[in-house]
A = this chain, B = another copy of it.
Amino acid sequence: MKPRSIGLFDSGVGGLTVMKQLLRILPDESLIYYADTARLPYGEKSRETIIRYSIENAIFLLEKDIKMLVVACNTATAHALEKLQHIFKVPVIGTIEPGAKHAVEVSRQGRIAVLGTKGTIKSQCYQEAILKGNPDAFVLPIACPLFVPLVEEQYFSHPATRLIVQEYLKPIKEQRIDTILLGCTHYPLLKDLIQQEVGSDIAIIDSATACAQKVASLLAEKSSTGPTYRYYVSDDPVKFQKMGQTFLGIAIDHVESVHH
């Protein structure tokens, strides 16, 4: 019997920051990543549509005999996680609850800023998850709509990005925040710049790392054979490969394009 893999899906390359952490924490596990690039972005689509896409993505991965499903996408986690957990046998892990829980654990004063896309902030998913972990927490939500395009253009330490980080994070000092939660899979690529701007006294938690740690803690049956990594996309494989390597931190050898 060949070893079963862990499956991850996202609408694009963002979820590769979760995969990057899995590579680090679980170096022996085989991973399959599916990016539904033909139907991105998910951010603005309706709940019903997101649920339908998520079920389709999950079934694609389940047919590859995965032992665990990681929803490496905030929008899909917010709308479809419960539904996926309800209908599928394998454990299904999302990004929101692990990130929020870790932020609550790390925060000393319970003053937590959540950075996310407009859609994520508006959905209040992180705000609610943090208050569930600590009902006395003070949560400062900050929408950072320019972060995703800046990351996708690889402006990680560009002076323009620094100016925009400074502008978005102005309220952090005013509100005496002690912990920042990066609530978008693209944002870990700006973590160094953000840390420089806010100083080392403020802890920065990212959902990608917290999600990978949760996967590791839940993994009953670990692999011991050599790992394999496979990548599937629903649109152009070359574009995914090029941009994906930046997110993943290692080379992506082969991307297969599939239609469903």
A residues whose Cβ falls under 8 Å from a Cβ of B: 44, 145-146, 149-150, 152-153, 155, 158-161, 163-164, 167, 235
Q: Assess whether B159 is in contact with A149, with CB atoms less than 8 Å apart.
A: no
Looking at the complex, which one of B145, B152, B160, B235 makes contact with A160 (CB distance below 8 Å)? B160
A148 to B28, CA, bound (A): 42
A152 to B146, CA, bound (A): 10
Closest to A147 in B: B149
Closest to A159 in B: B163
A167 to B153, CA, bound (A): 13
Looking at the complex, which one of B149, B159, B167, B235 makes contact with A146 (CB distance below 8 Å)? B149
Query: Which of chain B's residues have a CB closer than 8 A to the CB of A149?
Result: 145-146, 149
Query: Which of chain B's residues have a CB closer than 8 A to the CB of A167?
Result: 160
A44 to B40, CA, bound (A): 10
Distance in Å from the Cβ of A9 to the closest Cβ of chain B?
19
Query: Which of chain B's residues have a CB closer than 8 A to the CB of A152?
Result: 145
Distance in Å from the Cβ of A43 to the closest Cβ of chain B?
12
Query: Which of chain B's residues have a CB closer than 8 A to the CB of A153?
Result: 145-146
A44 to B145, CA, bound (A): 20
Query: Which of chain B's residues have a CB closer than 8 A to the CB of A161?
Result: 160
A44 to B235, CA, bound (A): 10
Closest to A163 in B: B160
Query: Which of chain B's residues have a CB closer than 8 A to the CB of A44?
Result: 235
Query: Which of chain B's residues have a CB closer than 8 A to the CB of A158?
Result: 163
Distance in Å from the Cβ of A228 to the closest Cβ of chain B?
30
A167 to B158, CA, bound (A): 11
Query: Which of chain B's residues have a CB closer than 8 A to the CB of A155?
Result: 146
A155 to B155, CA, bound (A): 17
Closest to A164 in B: B160
Query: Which of chain B's residues have a CB closer than 8 A to the CB of A145?
Result: 149, 152-153
Closest to A41 in B: B41
Q: A44-B235, A145-B152 are in contact. List 11 more A-B contacts (CB 8 A).
A: A145-B149, A145-B153, A146-B149, A146-B150, A146-B153, A146-B155, A149-B149, A159-B160, A160-B160, A160-B163, A160-B167
